[in-house]
Amino acid sequence: MSSAEARTEGAERLQKILAQAGVASRRASEDLIAMRRVTVNGKVAKLGDKADPIADVIHVDGQRIVTDANLVYLAMNKPRGVVSTMADDKGREAVADYIGNISTRVYHVGRLDADSEGLLLLTNDGTLAHKLMHPSYEVPKTYLVEVVGPLPRVVGRELMAGVELEDGPARLDDYRLKQAIDKQALIEVVLHEGRNRIVRRMFDHVGFPVQRLVRTAIGPIKLGDLKAGRHRRLNAGEVAALFKITDRKGRGAAQEETIREIPEVYED
């Protein structure tokens, strides 16, 4: 349904929706619409159009705008030793212990094993979370890997070419030696795989067990200087970047369906 045809009970003036989403004032939003810089469900909007802030997809200058005030998007720096669950029946520290001040229930997008640390995304947007986790969308993840050195150059070539693990082949998308001092080597790796402990198992396979593993980025979202155990809300540009990277269909992806609950199906 186009914005002009919107007749649902939740339909509102488009400039009001944009203003409430923090895009611009109502008057400035009207100017954006008049300049044909706003689309609703893929169609250029015009002054006087209405839209449903929950059901309709709105872009400004090609950037997806989050208009549903109920949606929450967070980045967290998971400390080592914390399990990637919202609750733990063994009494271990869990992600929920660090986000207790969030009134809306959120879910973690994928996991980091308890011994790993770094960036974890949390949201109640089930559709976006499903895309971020599904392998067909090939969302890249970046890690810093610490191993005992010295590290031969052949290790990088072997991991980039691919190794055969017990559950199938795996390879890195990128491998960069960042630092090598005495018996410690620090490597930055990128991959889009999401299998359980995939980075650790790949380095085990080539004879260099991981001593420390930190995820520093998920697609366009970077850990930055966020302190361990802290979380922050993603800004509008970051959320839009996540939508952009997942708007395309992945190779072999099934026809998209609305995901009402976030499945815990992939683990890093």
pLDDT given for residue 3 in this prediction: 43
Q: How many Cα atoms within 13 Å fall on the side-chain side of residue 118? A: 23
Span 1-13, pLDDT tens digits? 444 444 456 789 9
- Strands (E) located in the chain: 12-13, 38-40, 43-44, 50-51, 58-60, 63-65, 73-78, 107-109, 117-123, 141-148, 163-165, 168-170, 174-181, 184-191, 210-218, 221-222, 231-233
Of 142, 135, 144, 267, which is closest to residue 195 (Cα–Cα)?
A: 267
Residue 196 has pLDDT above 80, yes or no: yes
Span 200-213, pLDDT tens digits? 999 999 999 999 99
pTM over 0.75: yes
Distance of CA 231 to the CA centre of its chain: 14
Query: Which two structure tokens, joined as six digits, stand for 236?
Result: 């509008």
Rounded to whole angstroms, how far apart are CA atoms 207 and 202?
A: 9
Query: Which two structure tokens, joined as six digits, stand for 220?
Result: 């366009």
- Point out the catalytic residue in the list 68, 88, 113, 204: 113
Question: Does residue 113 carry a catalytic annotation?
Answer: yes
pLDDT given for residue 9 in this prediction: 65
